[in-house]
């Protein structure tokens, strides 16, 4: 079993992945054993699994490796570095339809539908994008995470790039780390959003709810999201805006967390919904209204700058008239290409 490592220490890993789970021990559990506390704090993992991680040195208490029977005094900081589980070595190819936008010997670009999980994990060991990729491209079995170098949330739709070779994977990860991959999203939010803006706030685990992320977290990683308003609308007198968001970093749930922190939660978001108006309950849309509509990068083999564009899926098209918008409010490919060229000249 691998020893724990610090975030970003493995260049082939997800650049937006959280490498550890951070926990704060409340004072009232003073005297409780470490393994018992972990079992209560992390119910998604079995007690045996957590015990094995402690014994392997993959759990630290105030920065120190300790033992399963260690007694907590309260107020400590715990970091849990999840280790690969046996299930993760049992990925099997599955005949799942893929919308392949582009492919060559080096890369694959797919348009992921909402509802498709990218990578197997607890609760989703099958039926993922990875399983589908292994069926269509068996050679990906030789690459870490089957060539996947970034990801989208389960209920976010849109464009993703996958590497087909070690060289391509190294190149794509480097581009992601250097923030030269262009990623643009369409997001529908509640509120009267300004014409443009930039959010600079760290994103890290919410200390009160480990299943959520939080903006401004002291233990978070730096994150930057730029946005501009494309259209304004409303739903039963509550303001709605269509935003184009551009990522300068790629943190987990970044757009959802950043926009919520400004008071503009995404329509349909079941998790990040502070200041969501009461009328949201009557809106017939049940996923975060977020679509990765444009992707640009330097081809790992040819060094050519390539760009792909996909309009949102039908459920988001159907949402438009409900919030006082139309397809004319969506960006056009020609304008996108001109905007990307301007960004590239400015770099």
| Angle, CA 152 vertex, CA 146 and CA 158 arms, to 5° | 100
Q: What DSSP letter does each residue of 71-127 carry, written as one string? A: BP-SS-EEEE-PPPPGGGG----------EEEE-SSEEEEEEPTT--SS-BTTBSSS
Answer yes or no: 13 catalytic. no
Give φ, ψ of 93 to 5 degrees: -65, 140
Give the sign of the dihedral formed by CA 14, CA 17, CA 21, CA 24: positive
- Locate 108 and state its tokens: 């694959």
Helix or strand (DSSP H, E) at 259: helix 254-261
Strand partners, 77: 24
Q: Look at the block and give the residue holding tokens 């409900």.
A: 322
Residue 334: CB atoms within 10 A of its CB come to 9
| Active-site residue, selected from the candidate residues 16, 35, 153, 155 | 153
**Across the strands, what pairs with 326?**
none
Closest CA to 298 of 248, 340, 335: 340
CB 226 within 8 A of CB 275: no
Active site residues: 153
């Amino acid at each position: 079993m691998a020893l724990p490592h610090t975030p970003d220490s493995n260049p082939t890993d997800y650049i937006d992945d959280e490498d550890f789970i951070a926990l704060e021990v409340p004072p009232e559990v003073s005297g409780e054993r470490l393994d018992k506390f972990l079992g209560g704090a992390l119910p998604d993992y079995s007690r045996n699994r957590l015990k094995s991680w402690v014994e392997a040195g993959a759990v630290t208490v105030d920065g120190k490796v300790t033992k399963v029977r260690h007694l907590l005094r309260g107020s400590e900081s715990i970091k849990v570095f999840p280790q690969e589980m046996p299930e993760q070595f049992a990925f099997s190819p599955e005949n799942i339809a893929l919308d392949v936008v582009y492919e060559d010997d080096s890369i694959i670009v797919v348009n992921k539908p909402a509802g498709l999980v990218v990578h197997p994990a607890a609760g989703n060991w099958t039926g993922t994008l990875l399983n589908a990729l292994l069926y269509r491209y068996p050679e990906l079995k030789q690459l870490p995470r089957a060539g996947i170098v970034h990801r989208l949330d389960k209920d976010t739709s849109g464009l993703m790039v996958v590497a087909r070779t070690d060289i391509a994977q190294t190149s794509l990860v480097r581009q992601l780390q250097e923030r030269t991959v262009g990623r643009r999203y369409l997001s529908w939010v509640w509120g009267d959003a300004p014409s443009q803006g930039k959010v600079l706030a760290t994103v890290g685990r919410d200390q009160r709810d480990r299943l959520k992320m939080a903006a401004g977290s002291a233990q978070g990683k730096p994150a930057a999201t730029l946005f501009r308003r494309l259209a304004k609308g409303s739903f039963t007198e509550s303001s709605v805006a269509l935003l184009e968001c551009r990522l300068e970093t790629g943190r987990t749930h970044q757009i959802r967390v950043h926009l919520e922190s400004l008071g503009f939660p995404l329509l349909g978001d079941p998790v990040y919904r502070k200041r969501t108006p009461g009328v949201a309950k009557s809106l017939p849309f049940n996923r975060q209204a977020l679509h990765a509509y444009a992707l640009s990068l330097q081809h790992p083999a040819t060094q050519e700058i390539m760009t792909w564009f996909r309009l949102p899926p039908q459920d988001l098209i159907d949402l438009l008239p409900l919030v006082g918008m139309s397809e004319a409010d969506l960006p056009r490919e020609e304008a996108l290409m001109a905007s990307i060229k301007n960004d590239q000249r400015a770099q």
